[in-house]
Homo-oligomer: A and B are copies of this chain.
C-alpha cells in the first residue's frame, strides 16, 4: 500500500489529515524497520519540533483503528511499532545487534496446525517474533 492510500483510508474513515498526523504516519511509513516510541518521536520532531509525545500516542489509537499498526514486543520488554501494509500476514526477523527487521512470509508447519486442530482449538491469530543476528552483524561479530 503506498502512502497516498494510507492517507485516503484515513480520510475515508472520518479522520482529519493534520500536519502532525501526516508527519507522524510518514515517519513510521518511511522507516525500514520497527521503531521505538523514542525513535518515532525523534523522527517526527525532526520534521516538526513542536509535535507532542501525546499526539503520537493518540495517533497510535487511530492507526490501530485503521488496522495499520503492528506492535512488536521483544523479550527485552520494549515495544516497537511498524505499519502493517501487507496483504499477507507476515513476521519479522529481528537482528539483536543492529535492530534491522525483515519481513518474511508466515508458514506455520502442517504438523503444527495438526496439533492445534487435534486440540480443537479455534486459532484466530498468532504472533511470531524471530530474534538472532543478521548476516552482516554475524560477520562483524565473528571478527572479534
Whole-angstrom distance between the alpha carbons of A126 and B132 in the complex?
A: 8
Within 8 A of B (CB), among A85-136: 93, 95-96, 102, 104-105, 107-112, 115-116, 119-135
A135-B109 CB under 8 A given contacts A104-B115, A115-B104, A129-B126: no
Contact check, B131 vs A125: say whether CB atoms are below 8 A apart: yes
Query: In the complex, what residues of B have CB within 8 A of residue A125's CB?
Result: 75, 130-132
Contact check, A132 vs B123: say whether CB atoms are below 8 A apart: yes
Residue A47 CB within 8 A of the other chain: no
Residue A138 CB within 8 A of the other chain: yes
Contact check, A130 vs B123: say whether CB atoms are below 8 A apart: yes
Query: In the complex, what residues of B have CB within 8 A of residue A30's CB?
Result: none
A120-B96 CB under 8 A given contacts A71-B75, A125-B131: no
Contact check, A102 vs B123: say whether CB atoms are below 8 A apart: no
Whole-angstrom distance between the alpha carbons of A106 and B71 in the complex?
A: 23
Whole-angstrom distance between the alpha carbons of A129 and B125 in the complex?
A: 8
Supply 10 A–B pairs (Cβ within 8 Å), ascending by A. Answer: A71-B77, A75-B127, A93-B123, A104-B119, A107-B109, A109-B110, A119-B135, A122-B132, A124-B133, A125-B131
A residues in contact (CB < 8 Å) with B:
71, 73, 75, 77, 93, 95-96, 102, 104-105, 107-112, 115-116, 119-135, 138
Interchain residue pairs A-B with the least CB separation, the first 5: A109-B109, A120-B135, A123-B132, A124-B132, A73-B73
